[in-house]
Amino acid sequence: MTLTRKNGLLYLAILAGLIVLPSFISTKYYIHLSVLALIWVIVAQGQNLIQGFTGYVSIAQAGFMGIGAYGTALLGLNFGLPVWLTILSAPLITALFALVAGYPSLRVKGHYFAIVTLAFNMVIFIVLLNLTDLTNGEAGLMGIPKPGAGKDGAINFADRTTYYYFVLIAATGVTALTALIVNSRLGRVLVAIRQNETLVGAAGLAAWKYKLFAFVVSAMFAGFAGALYAHYQSFINPEIFTIAQSMDAVLAVILGGSGTITGPIIGAFAIVFLPEYLRFADSFRLVIYGLILILATIFMPRGIVGLASDALGLLKKRRAR
Amino acid sequence: MLELVQQITNGVAIGSVYVLIALGLTTVFGILGIAHFAHGSVSMFGGYLVYVLVASQGVSLWLAIPVALIVGMGVGGLIEFLAYRPVRNANHINAFIIALGLTMMVEGINLQLFGADQVVIPTGFDRVFEIAGVTIPETRLYVILAATVLVIAMTAFVEGTKTGQAIRAVAQNRDAAILMGVNVRSIPLIVFAMSTMLGVAAGVMVGSLFAIAPGVGEAMVVKGFAVLILGGLGSIPGAIIGGLVLGVTEALAAGFLSSAYKDVIAFVVMIVVLLFRPQGLLGGAK
Amino acid sequence: MKRRSTIGAGLAAAVLAASTSLAGAAEKDLVVGVSDALTGPAAVYGVPQARAVELAAEEVNAAGGIRLGEDTYKITVLSYDDKANPTEASNSVRKLIDRDGARFLLGFCCSGATGAVASFIQNEDAVMLVGNAAERSITTRGIDNLVRTRPPADYTGAAAGTFVASKGHKRVAVIGALETSFYAMYVDAFEREFVKGGGEIVTREAFGLKDRDMSPQLTKIRALEPDALLVVGYVEPAAFVYRQSVELGLDVPRYGFTSGSEEQFLRVASSEQMEGVWDLRPTELTLQSTGETGRAYHENFTARFGVQPSPSSPYAYDQLYALRDAILKAGTVEDAAAVAKALRELPVPKEAVMQYIPIDGRMFDGNGQAYTTNGAFQWQDGAWVFVQELPSVAEDYSRFLSSIDG
């Protein structure tokens, strides 16, 4: 994948759309959902790096979000560090945990990696629940401060539209970083691992180092997203960071289009807004999600983005005729 | 000492359930290379089925169990045919994502059909045996015995029958098996039917020993995969030893270390095994 | 999830409002939001609460609604499913406030989801009434626009500690869902009172929400030879503790804090395995301990929904009557702060089902916390029997609660 001019234009159009979005929303509730969706964009970009580009499904993203969220909240609540500093430390803390988890997990290939990451997510959940002295268990942490100096500060982060732009900047940065990574030599090695890992080894490259890199970066994104979530909602408890949420990240990537830059953006908005429009079928939500996942994998392996570009290509062919 | 023996006895019962779950997973993985993550939820579907037959339809337990086992075989075959076969030749990650989708679907269907409350299969077994101070409830004893019988039956099937030979041939070398005239299209169906039947048996055991509720299937399949990692991927003896080791480890961890962290301890054991013996306790070096 | 009946009720109210406004009379619509677990494992608590609010709203509407001067307000209940999940709960409350214009929020069965909403409700122009969620910190943060009908778990735990000590036990083993903080608080308060009688807690064993095999923990407890067992946790795992304790021959008196119905226990354990077990909990709805209003509630709920009300569902039913009285007292439905203030000055509504102990004549104390009596129930021949009230001093606890910061 190269950064062509056409792609660049597409990204700019998406960004412009997201910048003007709040002025089209009259009910604040949808701004709230958009903030959550942007946070999920960050998670999904990370998930895409390991799942879409490298070809390893990680089911631990929510757990890493939890580490980032608790990391930033606890640093702030216990040491009184400024919010911007704790938010920036969250991905670093998460990276440490990801290194420890990733090293043994990446010794096994394919599916087993997924299972080990899933087990790791469970371990994170159990520890967050039981380490009550630090995490306050199921009751969670309340009163996590917003960035900035509150209502009297230069920027009022308690305002949802303001926070929206704050998260938009973060999501744009993360997306740009992802684009840089996948367009570099590193990105090409990751794709090569997905296509044929043995060949990468035969070419004299230590595939495990690249895999570990992708895994750790994806975890850092999740940790960063977790931190943004914690300061947005001001409340976290372990329930938010379970495997079900990690599965949402997998779904976002598949649905949007794995191995693309725009796919996770679309996928993240889909998983946050879809439940709103599936309310009528709420009790069948799991069945519908599962079915979407299966059908998308069989019939739409390149996700919504792939479908759209196929449709576009078809249209052009017609016009050319 | 009495406490230690009691704890091991406690662990063997749940360990037998893990063995059955892991056997189903390990055959599907070893022969077809699929990490069948939906196995736990499908197994619990079988358990629910027995519950409904016995508790609300008044069917005898001894009729309900075979019915569920046969339904399980059908469901297993259907899953292979409808969900996994279309992605047979695609990248293995696709099969895994299908497995995740299936898990959500089956969990959702279970929830719709059987509700969110926990269900316990009424067995009527409430005697408790006591041997030299060690107590063992009737149901647990039957679970251990039934698991032993199933393990022996499965081994006999794979080792001793023509179909079993064909399955092993496909596991070793698919192309060679085709050349030898093995019908490779039917093998995945048979493997899935067999493994799902074992899973349903485990589901019935969970439902009579403990309870079936949303999420139990997923928890079981994670334990099942932990057993596979412990015992070695695709290894039948590995699944048996690994299942018992995990069950007993959990009981000992809860009894002697920390009941809050018993699952963490089990996973730590798994990760340590991965670090030092990535091929599993019984897996040969590759 | 918007439940069909509420859509129906909403439509009916809208039609009614339209037709009456033509006639010149001012009949208005008052939106009351409910956020509760309507699906998932916590739905056993959430669904009965949502129904209880609906029932109370129908009763108030049938009795002519809420009259404020010229205007008559008919209540429309909008119920959303929060799955007891914090993110979902903040979503549904945001939606109720931002989109549906609800100012009064009821329901809230479960601590995690409630905590998430409590963390931002102070900045909203709304009033929040919490039900079954037992986590103490919900009412220690000085949130002016929040009240809770259920007493915190440790209020009951202290009473239970005194009671068990009075039975002459010295060595109690605890097994429970200790990862859930209000259960852990129950045990802490239990221990504080219990040790005053010279006893000790010999061990604290934990089990998780999904654990069903507690025999390893019980085997360990058996080896410690305690004189009594204390079981705290949700019904579903707790029932297994009672069954497995008998299977392991752990023959000591058993006390618990589980609030399960007979049916829930009998699904897991036989009546013989349950015989003699004590449940030490708030005196919630039981036919023996309740009065006239409780029996009427039980009957109406059963007739309306075809199932019996859960013991804890009146916490939500009473919310609506407290809200009605507060609106009448404040004389406004627009000014949420005035209604919140009125709530804290309110006597117990006469329709309330739970047996509240008023503090200085008021239903809610300065923290926004209500107190019920606590009771000792015992399993006798297949049913819970109310044996006695537990010694509980609500005033003292109220003072203690005020002393906690955050």
Query: What's the number of CA atoms in the CB half-sphere (13 Å) around residue A9?
Result: 3
Q: Which of B210, B257, B265 to mutate to test the interface with C (most CBs of C within 10 A)?
A: B210
Pick the range with the lowest mean pLDDT from A13-22, A219-228, C89-98, C368-377: A13-22
Mean predicted confidence (pLDDT) in A264-285: 82
C248 CA: distance to closest CA in chain B (Å): 6
Residue C8, by phi and psi: left (phi above 0), alpha (psi -120 to 50) or beta?
Answer: alpha
ipTM over 0.95: no
The answer to the question of residue A214 being in a domain is yes
Q: What is the DSSP letter of C404?
A: -
Domains of chain C and CATH, by start: 26-152+288-373 (3.40.50.2300), 154-282 (3.40.50.2300)
SS3 C250: coil
Q: What is the DSSP letter of A53?
A: I
pLDDT tens figures, C227-284: 999 999 988 899 999 999 999 999 999 999 987 778 889 989 999 999 999 999 888 7
Q: Parse chain B into domains and list their residue ranges.
A: 2-213
In which domain, by residue range, is A179 found? 31-242
C178 CA: distance to closest CA in chain B (Å): 8
Q: With a cut of 60, say whether residue C5 has pLDDT above it.
A: no
C82–A contact, CB cutoff 8 A: no
B229–A contact, CB cutoff 8 A: yes
Q: With a cut of 90, say whether residue A312 has pLDDT above it.
A: no
Question: Which residue do the tokens 């337990």 mark?
Answer: B61
The answer to the question of residue A310 being in a domain is no
Partners of C306 in beta bridges: none
At residue A109, the pLDDT reads: 65
Q: Which of C38, C81, C93, C94 to mutate to test the interface with A (most CBs of A within 10 A)?
A: C94
- Residues in chain C with CB shorter than 8 Å from the CB of B2 are 223
Nearest to C112 among A27, A138, A143 (CB): A138
At residue A97, the pLDDT reads: 94
Which chain C residue has its CA at the smallest distance from B263's CA?
C208
- Whether residue C236 and residue B215 make contact (CB cut-off 8 A), yes or no, is no
At residue A116, the pLDDT reads: 83
- Whether residue A115 and residue B109 make contact (CB cut-off 8 A), yes or no, is no
C116–A contact, CB cutoff 8 A: yes
- Whether residue B7 and residue C219 make contact (CB cut-off 8 A), yes or no, is yes
Tokens linked to A314: 């078809």
pLDDT tier at C290, thresholds 50, 70, 90: low
B180 CA: distance to closest CA in chain A (Å): 29
- Residues in chain B with CB shorter than 8 Å from the CB of A288 are 108
Q: Which of C92, C119, C234 to mutate to test the interface with A (most CBs of A within 10 A)?
A: C119
- Residues in chain C with CB shorter than 8 Å from the CB of A27 are 98-99
d(CA C223, CA A267): 54
Which chain A residue has its CA at the smallest distance from C178's CA?
A130
- Whether residue B93 and residue A55 make contact (CB cut-off 8 A), yes or no, is yes
pTM over the 0.80 mark:
yes
Tokens linked to C367: 């923290």
At residue A299, the pLDDT reads: 86
Q: With a cut of 90, say whether residue C108 has pLDDT above it.
A: yes
- Whether residue B135 and residue C249 make contact (CB cut-off 8 A), yes or no, is yes
pLDDT tier at C8, thresholds 50, 70, 90: very low
Number of neighbouring beta carbons within 10 Å of residue B198 = 27
Q: With a cut of 80, say whether residue C3 has pLDDT above it.
A: no
At residue C18, the pLDDT reads: 47
The answer to the question of residue A289 being in a domain is no
Q: Are A68 and A95 in contact (CB under 8 A)?
A: no
pLDDT tens figures, A195-212: 888 888 888 888 888 999
Q: Which residues of A touch C (CB under 8 A)?
A: 27-29, 32-33, 36, 126, 129-130, 132, 136-140, 142-144, 158, 233-237, 239-240, 279, 282-283
**% pLDDT > 70, chain C:** 92
At residue C287, the pLDDT reads: 60
Neighbours of chain B (3+ CB pairs under 8 A): A, C
pLDDT tier at C25, thresholds 50, 70, 90: low
At residue C1, the pLDDT reads: 41
* Average pLDDT in chain A: 87
Mean predicted confidence (pLDDT) in B246-254: 92
The answer to the question of residue A19 being in a domain is no
At residue C27, the pLDDT reads: 86
d(CA C140, CA C368): 9
At residue C16, the pLDDT reads: 47
A230–B contact, CB cutoff 8 A: no
What are the distances in angstroms from CA C124 to CA A229, B200, C33? 19, 51, 14
pLDDT tens figures, C292-340: 888 899 999 999 999 888 888 999 999 999 999 999 999 999 999 999 9
Pick the range with the lowest mean pLDDT from A3-17, A85-99, B60-74, B228-242: A3-17
Q: With a cut of 90, say whether residue B194 has pLDDT above it.
A: yes
β-pairing verdict for C171-176 and C146-148: unpaired
At residue B181, the pLDDT reads: 79
Domain count, chain A: 1
d(CA C391, CA C398): 15
pLDDT tens figures, C339-378: 999 999 999 999 999 989 999 999 999 999 999 989 999 9
Mean predicted confidence (pLDDT) in A29-43: 94
Number of neighbouring beta carbons within 10 Å of residue B70 = 13
pLDDT tier at A110, thresholds 50, 70, 90: low
Long-range contacts of B112-115 (CB under 8 A, 24+ apart): B112/A283, B112/A284, B112/A287, B113/B48, B114/B48, B114/B51, B114/B52, B114/B212
- Whether residue C217 and residue B11 make contact (CB cut-off 8 A), yes or no, is no
- Whether residue C44 and residue B215 make contact (CB cut-off 8 A), yes or no, is no
* Average pLDDT in chain B: 89
- Whether residue B11 and residue C216 make contact (CB cut-off 8 A), yes or no, is yes
Q: With a cut of 90, say whether residue A155 has pLDDT above it.
A: no
The answer to the question of residue A119 being in a domain is yes
Q: With a cut of 60, say whether residue C15 has pLDDT above it.
A: no
β-pairing verdict for C71-81 and C146-148: unpaired
A37–B contact, CB cutoff 8 A: no
Higher-confidence residue: A301 or B211? B211
At residue A39, the pLDDT reads: 97
pLDDT tier at C2, thresholds 50, 70, 90: very low
The residues in B 94-133 lying below 8 A from C, measured between CB atoms, are 116-120, 126, 128, 130
Q: Which of C210, C261, C264, C265 to mutate to test the interface with B (most CBs of B within 10 A)?
A: C210
Q: With a cut of 90, say whether residue C218 has pLDDT above it.
A: yes
Please give, one letter per residue, the 3-state secondary structure of chain B.
CHHHHHHHHHHHHHHHHHHHHHHHHHHHHHHHCCCCCCHHHHHHHHHHHHHHHHHHCCCCHHHHHHHHHHHHHHHHHHHHHHHHHHHCCCCHHHHHHHHHHHHHHHHHHHHHHHCCCCECCCCCCCCEEEECCEEEEHHHHHHHHHHHHHHHHHHHHHHHCHHHHHHHHHHHCHHHHHHCCCCCCHHHHHHHHHHHHHHHHHHHHHHHHCCECCCHHHHHHHHHHHHHHHHCCCCHHHHHHHHHHHHHHHHHHHHHHCCCCHHHHHHHHHHHHHHHCCCCCCCCCC
pLDDT tens figures, A156-171: 888 889 999 999 999 9
pLDDT tier at C7, thresholds 50, 70, 90: very low
